[in-house]
Amino acid sequence: MDFELSAKDPASKARAGRITTGHGQIDTPIFMPVGTVGSVKGVNQRQLKKEIQAQIILGNTYHLYLRPGTGILEEAGGLHRFMGWDGPLLTDSGGYQVFSLAANRKLNEEGAMFQSHIDGSKHLFTPERVVDIQRSIGADIIMAFDECPPYPSEYAYARKSMELTHRWLTRCVQRMDETEPRYGHSQSLFPIIQGSTFKDLRTASSEFIASMECDGNAIGGLSVGEPEEMMYEMCALCCDHLPEEKPRYLMGVGTPWNILENIALGVDMFDCVMPTRNGRNGMLFTSEGVINIKNKRWESDFSPVDAGIDSEVSQYYTKAYLRHLFVANELLGMQIASIHNLSFYMHLVKKARERIVAGDYASWKAEMILVLKRRL
């Protein structure tokens, strides 16, 4: 994996760059649509590539391990071939899902024991196992196994958890060194900073993670319920301790304005289920603000879903038609809203990159955020 920085915004820490993987290039800052179980919900692969213009998508180790399982994925030749996606792919480690979805989880030095949320079957994830599973999945970017403490956490717990995450990271790095990619393309491991909302822990974690000299670095444990200002503070602190020449990935963030703020702090990569999950519930992010498309206000509004972005679906369908689809519980409503929201996120990071290159990101961002947050 290669990362090249091409521009820096003079009035913020925003950067424009390009990641090169075995499955193609990614312009940063980038948003990564989430394809939890091998499918970006409601969206097909053609739509993902041609309409949304996704450059990299995300898969979830926990979900893919349970269904379809590594056996099928290996037989298929990895997730890229299984799902028919030939662009870059990142898998998270499953740490977050084990703690948020699985039942009866037990944590110890070795790893995490848990029961499947699907059938109650028992499983053990260790740092080594999680690397092995991600080798089977074949993602271009592999995440280290971590524990993500909830917000708020006690200092003592946050520290103990962070230290465990660091020890697990050392084991992940070792496992990566001992094993080979299965499908001929290289795989890069990204470690994850933890430390909850404690500055000294975040600093220590950032320094430890940076010292591992991986191809890229991630910031975890944010956007888990803390105030937005606290997220920005922690993110800024982490970015300032991370090497400039490596991509920085802020996990699970967030709203359009969260993304613009964190880009200004030096983040290069984002993922979030919000555009698809909220889309399925009729919440649209648009170039004029936030829309609840089920609202009666849109009943006879025959303007496009979003005329402000260059997306076929957003231009083609009207607000009145999309509202009708949601009111009538038509599947197509979820498809259109998901494609629109993802297209909008992609539009936003593309525009952000253009402004960074142009050198006026900070002022553009300040104006945009006012528009993006409007409730229409």
Q: Which residues are catalytic?
A: 92, 271
Residue 335 vs 343, nearer CB to a second copy: 335
* Apex 31 CA angle, 329 and 200, nearest 5: 120
* CB-nearer residue toward a second copy: 223 or 338: 338
Q: How far is the CB of 284 from a second copy (least distance, A)?
A: 16
With CB under 8 A as the contact rule, the residue among 335, 340, 341, 355 that binds a second copy is 335
DSSP string, 252-307: T--SHHHHHHHHHTT--EEE-SHHHHHHHTTEEEETTEEEETTSGGGTT--SBS-T
Judged by beta carbon, residue 200 or residue 299, the one nearer a second copy is 299
Shortest CB 62 distance to a second copy, Å: 13
Residues contacting residue 77 through CB under 8 Å, at least 6 positions apart: 138, 183
Among 156, 177, 245, 302, binds a second copy (CB under 8 A): 302
Nearest CA among 2, 138, 118 for reference residue 78: 138
273 contributes a contact to a second copy by CB under 8 A? no
Binding mask 219-248 for a second copy (x = CB under 8 A): ------------------------------
Stretch that binds a second copy, among 156-164, 167-175, 246-254, 297-305 (CB under 8 A): 297-305
Q: How far is the CB of 338 from a second copy (least distance, A)?
A: 8
Listed in sequence order, the residues at least 6 apart from 3 whose beta carbon sits closer than 8 Å to its beta carbon are: 17, 18, 19, 20, 28, 215, 216, 245, 246, 247
By CB under 8 A, what part of segment 41-100 binds a second copy? 41-46, 63, 67-68, 71-72, 75-76, 82-84
**Residue 300 binding a second copy, by CB under 8 A:** yes
The CB density around residue 258, as the number of other CB atoms within 10 Å, is: 23
Q: Which residues are registered as beta bridge partners of 103?
A: 115
Q: Write the binding mask 309 to 328 for a second copy: x where contact by CB under 8 A, - elsewhere.
A: ---xx--xxx-xx--xx-xx
| Position 296 contacts a second copy (CB under 8 A) | no
Q: State phi, psi for 233 to the nearest 5 degrees.
A: -60, -45
Cβ 277 to a second copy, closest distance in Å? 12
Give which of 135, 40, 17 is closest to 87, Cα–Cα: 40
* CB nearer to a second copy: pick between 67 and 373: 67
Number of Cβ atoms within 10 Å of the Cβ of 167: 12
Nearer to a second copy, 130 or 336 (CB): 336
262's tokens: 């964190």
Query: From CA 282, how far away is CA 299, in angstroms rounded?
Result: 14
Q: Which of residues 181-220 bind a second copy (CB under 8 A)?
A: none
Cα–Cα distance list, 353 to 266, 269, 315 (Å) = 12, 12, 23
Of 200, 269, 270, residue with least CA distance to 238: 200
Name the site residues for a second copy (rule: CB under 8 A).
37-46, 63, 67-68, 71-72, 75-76, 82-84, 299-300, 302, 312-313, 316-318, 320-321, 324-325, 327-328, 330-336
